[in-house]
């Protein structure tokens, strides 16, 4: 998104910038892989010239709305691998508690299922098959 784009203007009109945190990156090849092939990475690097970017979005555009967070040095496809971004997501949307497994008090042989042409036997109980 360009800094002066209609999308940015719409964000400014509809949202409270104080409640939004923005993340941007200045991709540094020395800090890790891009996530793109060599040819694509080279083309993307060339397209932005000297301007700071994450290979997809200019840094100043990414930080153009809300409260800017410190600039990262990863590519666009690696934001979610960054510890600060992961922590911000966890703080915003904590994980749900893990459901505890339910164990059956029924012996395994009692849950055996047998299928016959005219009925189904589940745990020793005979049930007639429905006709379709």
pLDDT reading at 101 higher than 70 = no
**Does the model's pTM come out above 0.75?**
no
Residue 98 lies in a domain: no
pLDDT at 127 over 70: yes
Span 1-28, pLDDT tens digits: 556 778 767 777 766 767 788 999 999 8
The residue ranking higher by pLDDT, 62 or 131, is 62
- Average pLDDT over all residues of the chain: 80
Of the candidates 109, 114, 85, the residue with the CA atom closest to the CA atom of residue 24: 85
Number of domains in the chain: 1
* pLDDT, tens digit, 9 for 90 and up, residues 27-47: 988 888 888 888 888 888 888
What pLDDT band is residue 79 in, cutting at 50, 70 and 90? very high
Contact criterion met (CB below 8 Å) for 30 and 64? no
Q: Is residue 125 part of a domain?
A: no
Domain span including residue 47: 6-92
Q: pLDDT at residue 111 above 70?
A: no
Domain annotation covers residue 101 = no
User: How far is Cα 19 from Cα 11, in angstroms, rounded to an integer?
Assistant: 12
119: nearest Cα among 110, 127, 111, 109: 127
Strand 113-115: give its sheet, edge to edge: 113-115, 119-122, 125-128
Residue 47 falls inside a structural domain: yes
């Amino acid at each position: 998104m360009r800094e002066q784009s209609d999308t940015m203007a719409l964000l400014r009109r509809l949202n409270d910038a104080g409640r939004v945190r923005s993340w941007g990156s200045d991709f540094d090849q020395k800090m890790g892989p891009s996530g793109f092939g060599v040819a694509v990475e080279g083309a993307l690097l060339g397209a932005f010239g000297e301007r700071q970017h994450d290979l997809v979005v200019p840094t100043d555009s990414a930080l153009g709305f809300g409260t800017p967070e410190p600039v990262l040095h990863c590519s666009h496809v690696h934001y979610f691998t960054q510890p600060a971004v992961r922590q911000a997501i966890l703080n915003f949307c904590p994980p749900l508690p893990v459901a505890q497994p339910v164990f059956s008090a029924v012996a395994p042989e009692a849950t055996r299922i047998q299928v016959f042409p005219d009925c189904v036997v589940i745990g020793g109980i005979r049930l007639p098959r429905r006709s379709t």
